[in-house]
Chains A and B, each alone.
Chain A
Amino acid sequence: MKLRLKIILISLLTSLILGSISITISFRIYNASNDKQAKVYTQQTVSGFVDSLKRDDQKNKDNNLRKYIEDYTDNIIKIYSEYDKLGYFKEYSQSSEDEYLSRVEKEVVEGDVNKFNEIYTMMDALVKAGSTESLYLAYFDMLNGRVIYLLDIDKSTANPIGFVDSINRFGLKKGEILPDGFKAVIENQLCWGGQPIYKYSDSSHRSCFIMADVPMTTFNQVEKEFLKYQTIVLASLSVSLAIFMYVMSDRFIAQNIKKVDYSTSKFTSSLINDTTPLLFYPDVKSKDEIGNLAKNSYNLQITLIDYIKKLKDKTLNEQRILADLELARKIQIENLPKGYYEENNFVINAFMEPAKEVGGDFYDYFKIDEDNLCVVIADVSGKGIPAALFMMNAKELIRGLLKSGKNLKDALFEANNQLLETNEEGLFITLFAGVINMNTLEMDYINAGHERPIIIKKDKIFELETKSNFVLAGLNNFNYQMERVNFDKDDTILFYTDGLSEAIDDNFNQFGKENIIKSLKEEVSLEHLKTNLKDFSKENQFDDETALLLKLKNVLSINIKNPKIENIDGVIEESRKYLSFLDSKTISQTCIILDELLSNSIKYGIKGVADSFINFVLSYDDKKINIDLIDNGIKFNPFGDIKKGESDEIGGRGLLVVDKLSSNRKYEYVNKKNHIHVEKIYE
Chain B
Amino acid sequence: MDIKIDDLKEYTVKLSGRLDSTTSPKLDETLAGFDLKKNLVFDFKDLEYISSAGLRLLLAYKKKLSLNSLDVIVRNANDVVMEVFNITGFDKILKLE
Contact = CB atoms under 8 A, between A and B. Distances in A.
B80 A595 contact: no
Interface in B18-77: 18, 20-22, 25, 48-53, 55-56, 59
Contact of B80 (A588, A645, A648, A653): A588
B84 A599 contact: no
Interface majority SS on B: helix, strand, loop or mixed? helix
A169 interface: no
A569 B22 CA distance: 6
B8 interface: no
Nearest to B88: A653
Interface string B70-97: 0000000001100110011100000000
A585 interface: yes
A136 B21 CA distance: 177
A592 B87 contact: no
B20 A591 contact: yes
Contact of A592 (B49, B59, B89): B49
B21 A592 contact: no
Contacts of B20: 568, 572, 591-592, 595, 599
A660 B87 contact: yes
Nearest to B51: A595
Interface residues of B, number: 21
Nearest to B84: A657
Given A585-B79, A592-B49, A654-B51, A565 B56 contact: no
Given A591-B20, A653-B88, A656-B87, A599 B53 contact: yes
A599 B21 contact: yes
A589 interface: yes
A: contact size bracket: 20 to 34
A598 interface: yes
Contacts of A572: 18, 20, 22
A32 interface: no
B24 to A, nearest CB: 10
A657 B50 CA distance: 10
B49 A653 contact: no
A595 B53 contact: yes
B21 A598 contact: yes
A588 B87 contact: no
Most buried by A among B18, B20, B53: B20
Contacts of B83: 589, 661
Contacts of B56: 650, 653
B54 to A, nearest CB: 9
B84 A592 contact: yes
B21 A589 contact: no
A588 B48 contact: yes
A361 interface: no
Nearest to B81: A588
A598 B52 CA distance: 12
A656 B49 contact: no
A585 B21 contact: no
Interface in A365-384: none
A566 B22 contact: yes
B88 A656 contact: yes
A653 B48 contact: no
Nearest to B55: A653
A596 interface: yes
Interface string A572-595: 100000000000110011011001
A595 B21 contact: yes
Given A653-B56, A653-B88, A656-B87, A592 B22 contact: no
B38 to A, nearest CB: 25
B80 A585 contact: yes
A657 B18 contact: no
B49 A657 contact: no
B51 A592 contact: yes
A608 B89 CA distance: 33
A657 B87 contact: yes
B86 to A, nearest CB: 9
A273 B30 CA distance: 102
Contacts of A654: 51-53
Nearest to A566: B22
Given A569-B22, A653-B88, A589 B80 contact: yes
Nearest to B47: A588
Most buried by A among B25, B48, B50: B48
A627 to B, nearest CB: 14
Nearest to B22: A569
B90 to A, nearest CB: 9
Interface string A34-55: 0000000000000000000000
Nearest to A598: B21
Interface of A: 565-566, 568-569, 572, 584-585, 588-589, 591-592, 595-596, 598-599, 603, 645-646, 648, 650-651, 653-654, 656-657, 660-661
Given A592-B20, A592-B49, A653-B52, 4 more contacts: A595-B20, A595-B51, A598-B21, A645-B88
Closest 8 CB pairs of A and B: A654-B52, A599-B21, A588-B49, A595-B20, A595-B51, A660-B87, A588-B80, A569-B22
12 contacts: A572-B18, A588-B48, A589-B80, A589-B83, A591-B18, A592-B49, A595-B53, A599-B53, A651-B52, A654-B51, A654-B52, A657-B87
